């Protein structure tokens, strides 16, 4: 099917989704979802057409054409300038369209023989309407950066994995996926970039209009304890607000998150200067994750929970040598983590294991310090055990969303989640790490197709 045919089909689908609107133009909830889905497909189909056109404009504006360049004839210095002016996007966005178009267009060799596109899977995903141009640009940009270091075979495998995993993800989540994929594709490139970023760290202070302004730019290694401490302080503040007897009292805590973060910095600095009071940072722990083979070899990369950017194994070692940091070595020995019905509350060790599996809120991705460990099958009502197979990390909002709207949670290995009954859990497949699956209610998805949650959504090297 040509990209133009796909665009026409998407337009027909949007028209059909809107067909039953009443005379006032109002849409029911079902219609709103159908129209929103149709708009998304139409945008992606239009992207596929646009990148083809961008590739054609680029080809007809290649430098060797000189004055016959299409862009120059139209009064523009580059193809991107032409596209930006006619579509109203930025030159950077237009250049990304050109890059995607060129990278996914069919090619010819020096004697004119046909060659496949440089990234055929990305081309196919664009044409079928499952990836947007922005997502494809992010993936192709990564593959181009790592092409020499990783080699063609590994880049082809990365293209397959990224195209598969990026489907259905928001652009912000694709960015997380790309960050981890880059560390997997080019592990030797992590440390040099890390040193470069560390050299750019800065904190400036100045006073203006009666206020002191602080601007900080920190590398990941420097920022990790700062982020963990401030987020922990915010979590503790919201927990105290929730437990307050009268939320409507005149002196009730109504601070915004930025205000609480500013207060956290003041409290920490006062503590360093001699404050004897306990700093209220609940659950503020820096966890550095590293594979045992990388730790032994001193190569590769590691992750810090709550921060997207990876760091080198050397940085992980330096951080683990300091206080307040827990190294999580994957593949190493661990203590017993399943307690059955002997304990109602999840232990600290169990919570760390859940953080390792879920990465934070298993549903929306908020960092670990903003989540709580919940029983999938309730402790009291369902007699659910306090085991990892019955535990999941959720933020307060997602916890209520699941219970109020009829979602189910299953713990299983790769593939579709298994098990039955609301909120049930099931064991992992032998040899496959357990994963969290969310089963939508039938009014959201009549097929009730399981949706992968937790860290596994972004683990490219699994």
| Residue 258 token pair | 């930025």
Return the pLDDT at 422: 42
Residue 296 has pLDDT above 90, yes or no: no
> What gap in Å lies between CA 292 and CA 6, rounded to an integer?
48
Higher pLDDT, 335 or 414: 414
If you average pLDDT over every residue of the chain, what do you get? Answer: 81
> What gap in Å lies between CA 65 and CA 72, rounded to an integer?
10
Which of 427, 431, 435 lies closest to 392 in space, CA to CA?
435
Residue 428 has pLDDT above 80, yes or no: no
Contact 290, 190 (CB under 8 A): no
Q: Write the burial class of residue 263 (CB in 10 Å: 0-12 exposed, 13-18 middle, 19+ buried).
A: middle
Instruction: Please report, to the nearest 10 degrees, the dihedral formed by the alpha carbons of residues 445, 451, 454, 455 taken in order.
Output: -140
Which of 139, 107, 106 lies closest to 122 in space, CA to CA?
139
Question: Element (H or E) spanning 133, and its range?
Answer: helix 133-150
> What gap in Å lies between CA 60 and CA 58, rounded to an integer?
5
Task: Return the minimum-mean-pLDDT range out of 88-102, 126-140, 296-310.
Answer: 296-310
The three-state secondary structure class of 311 is: strand
The residues near 342 (Cβ < 8 Å, ≥ 6 apart) are: 386
The three-state secondary structure class of 408 is: strand
Adjacency order of strands within the sheet including 408-412: 408-412, 435-439, 451-453
> What gap in Å lies between CA 17 and CA 30, rounded to an integer?
10
CA atoms in the 13 A half-sphere facing the CB of 391? 30
Quickly list H helices, 305-419.
Answer: 313-320, 348-358, 396-405
pLDDT > 70: percent of the chain: 81
Q: Quick count: other Cβ atoms within 10 Å of Cβ 112?
A: 6
Which of 224, 411, 387, 364 lies closest to 373 in space, CA to CA?
387
> What gap in Å lies between CA 369 and CA 405, rounded to an integer?
25
Please list the residues that pair with 392 across neighbouring strands: 374
Domain boundaries, the chain: 3-185, 202-272, 286-330, 348-457
Return the pLDDT at 369: 76
Return the pLDDT at 82: 95
Residue 335 has pLDDT above 60, yes or no: no
> What gap in Å lies between CA 455 and CA 180, rounded to an integer?
11
Return the pLDDT at 334: 36
Return the pLDDT at 22: 64
| Residue 71 token pair | 């862009």
Contact 220, 196 (CB under 8 A): no
User: Could you tell me the pLDDT band of residue 301, with boundaries at 50, 70 and 90?
Assistant: confident
Adjacency order of strands within the sheet including 307-312: 307-312, 301-304, 286-291, 325-330
Return the pLDDT at 343: 57
Beta strands 408-412 and 435-439 are: antiparallel
Contact 39, 46 (CB under 8 A): no
DSSP 209-276: TTEEEEEEE--HHHHHHHHHHHHHHHHHHHHHHHH-S-TTSTTS----HHHHHHHHHHHHHHHHTT--
Identity of the highest mean pLDDT range in 80-94, 243-257, 345-359, 393-407: 80-94
Alpha-carbon 206 to chain mean position:
34
Return the pLDDT at 424: 46
| Residue 12 token pair | 């027909």
Residue 382 has pLDDT above 70, yes or no: yes
Alpha-carbon 456 to chain mean position:
11
The three-state secondary structure class of 411 is: strand
Instruction: Please report, to the nearest 10 degrees, the dihedral formed by the alpha carbons of residues 112, 117, 118, 121 taken in order.
Output: -160
Q: What is the pLDDT of residues 191-245, one digit of tens each?
A: 788 888 888 999 998 888 878 888 999 988 888 888 888 988 888 888 888 777 6
Return the pLDDT at 160: 95
């Amino acid at each position: 099917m040509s990209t133009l045919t796909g665009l026409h089909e998407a337009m027909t689908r949007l028209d059909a989704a809107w067909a039953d609107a009443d005379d006032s133009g109002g849409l029911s909830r079902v219609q709103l979802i159908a129209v929103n889905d149709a708009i998304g497909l139409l945008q992606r189909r239009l992207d596929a057409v646009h990148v083809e056109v961008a590739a054609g404009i680029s080809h007809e504006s290649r430098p060797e054409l000189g004055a016959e360049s299409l862009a120059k004839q139209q009064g523009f210095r580059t193809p991107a300038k032409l596209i930006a002016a006619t579509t109203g996007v930025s030159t950077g966005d237009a250049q990304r369209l050109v890059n995607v178009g060129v990278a996914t267009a069919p090619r010819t060799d020096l004697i004119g023989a046909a060659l496949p596109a440089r990234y055929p899977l990305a081309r196919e995903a664009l044409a079928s309407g499952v990836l947007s141009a922005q997502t494809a640009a992010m993936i192709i940009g990564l593959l181009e950066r790592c092409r020499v270091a990783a080699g063609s075979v590994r880049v082809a495998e990365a293209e397959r994995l990224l195209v598969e995993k990026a489907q259905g993800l928001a652009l912000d989540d694709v960015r997380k996926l790309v960050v981890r994929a880059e560390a997997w594709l080019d592990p030797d490139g992590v440390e040099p970039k890390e040193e470069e970023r560390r050299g750019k760290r800065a904190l400036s202070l100045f006073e203006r209009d009666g206020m002191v302004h602080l601007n900080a730019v920190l590398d990941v290694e420097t920022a990790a304890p700062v982020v963990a401490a401030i987020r922990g302080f915010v979590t503790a503040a919201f927990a105290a607000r929730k437990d307050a007897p009268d939320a409507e009292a005149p002196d009730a805590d109504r601070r915004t998150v930025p205000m609480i973060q500013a207060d956290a910095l003041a409290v920490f600095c006062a503590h360093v200067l001699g404050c004897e009071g306990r700093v209220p940072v609940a659950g503020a722990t820096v966890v550095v994750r590293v594979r045992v083979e990388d730790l032994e070899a001193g190569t590769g990369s590691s992750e810090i929970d709550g921060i997207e950017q990876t760091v080198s194994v050397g940085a992980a070692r330096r951080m683990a040598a300091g206080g307040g940091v827990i190294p999580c070595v994957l593949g190493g020995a661990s203590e017993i983590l399943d307690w059955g019905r002997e304990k109602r509350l999840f232990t600290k060790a169990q919570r760390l294991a859940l953080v390792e599996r879920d990465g934070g809120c298993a549903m929306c991705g908020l960092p670990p310090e903003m989540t709580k460990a919940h029983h999938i099958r309730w402790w009291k009502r369902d007699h659910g055990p306090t085991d990892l197979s019955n535990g999941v990390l959720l933020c307060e909002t997602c916890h209520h969303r699941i219970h109020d709207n009829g979602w189910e949670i299953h713990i299983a290995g790769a593939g579709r989640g298994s098990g039955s009954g609301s909120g049930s859990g099931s064991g992992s497949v032998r040899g496959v790490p357990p994963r969290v699956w969310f089963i939508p209610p039938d009014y959201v998805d009549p097929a009730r197709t399981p949706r992968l949650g937790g860290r596994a959504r972004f683990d490219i090297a699994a």
